[in-house]
Structure 1
């Protein structure tokens, strides 16, 4: 028992150290401006100061948007923004069935990449064979270059209502940071694997202010890894969450914010929601069913760090198709 506790503790410490080192390496080699933002954006006063500096009038921009061309019905832009400001979360930005069908067809006919590694490509129906051949367990599998190869995703990232929500919430012209679409698989994963799969409570620091839209592309229940958000946690955090930014346990997060703030999000394929990712959030590891989800992100600045674009020369298949 004590050995298991010690192993778990050491694994958590190693994961924290690895995260910190990798953040500095990625920032210093790819975009120091992004790294500086991540240090300043931890603090509310820093976020307020910078966003006030970058705040611009969006009246002309919003007037130019034709909301009637949106594919998203029954979505009130002002209501979404109001709920994001108060709760950091708005549920019910749903995709029409034909958009869901087109994206799912794309997912099943295009290679995804195990554990987000470009050399571990496979088609969804080949997952078991790809795991055996690569001697790898796939906790997740991402798609790359989605806006280039999937017209429905490209159209969705330019949807008038998503752009209007982002502009009003960000108080500036929204910069498209990138998309992400991935499978989550029911596996017996380690703590480190869960961290890499965003399956432990955390908050993001992708900009001084940013917003993400999520869309379930498969039915999501309590067996297929629902997204979980701690409502209202974008507004306040205790000092340990800010200075250390370590992965907190569910018990610690729930005790601090209260059980009533914990929102587990279920829905049929096409169900969508908007979130301020400064809220504590995570994906629960699936237990029986695979989950496919799409994320579209907007921010005040595009640091070229969140996109899913990869050179085709880097993408390798484990098994031919």
Structure 2
């Protein structure tokens, strides 16, 4: 068992040791505290795309959106979304499968294009979330302030995005030592600013070249960059907030994770969140019949191509052992 897997299986009530507050090696991107400049930058990356997302509704209603811009939005959205769900989450965080070296690096880059933070920090935060899920120490539980309606509303805001402005950060050397030791992955994580620029610049570059106009580049930037980033951010954050406050819970887990069906397509299968917390290393989250999980489907394609192996697919006895009620057919 690897050290990262040890972290996932440690009891949620175990307190962090004082030694875990020591500084990270300088080779990793980001420290243990967010500086003022980083917080301001983070605020801009949240508010500017969000304003674009709000403006997109009347713009689409009044002037419409071109097929090129729509294609760039959808294409870039699902590249980044699957980079997060397959790469950052199921592979790097939980080890749901093993990957050949080229796929490993490609997934690191794809996830970085989602503009959700450096890989090492993302993984460290999520591993800590699983260790303390919906208990004291969880970086983004919506139950942080209590279970009353006012407390839950405040907690939902915290879980959705407020936690990202917290100065105290997850110790990366404690929760992601395997990634820090990998020079290529460490480099991708440190190059987060570069991949952010690539992610935002690619749609206007394509839009400008296809239309041979500045207007084409501008509309592509609006839809393919700003609106796409905002939509992906809020869908991802909804897994932290909505999926830990609502939804069905057919499986036994030590937290309040639930399945939210209407987020399944946009989240690439991540919103089947109850099974994930009941069995974190499972490569498929939507295990019931009819539960769409595009991330699991793509992992299957990777496996058939020989790029991924030792995939932890759901097994009936393992699923039934975690079920609260009588067993039902698994997908």
Range of TM-score over shorter length: under 0.3
* Structure with higher helix content: 2
* Structure with higher strand content: 1
Normalised TM-score (structure 1): 0.26
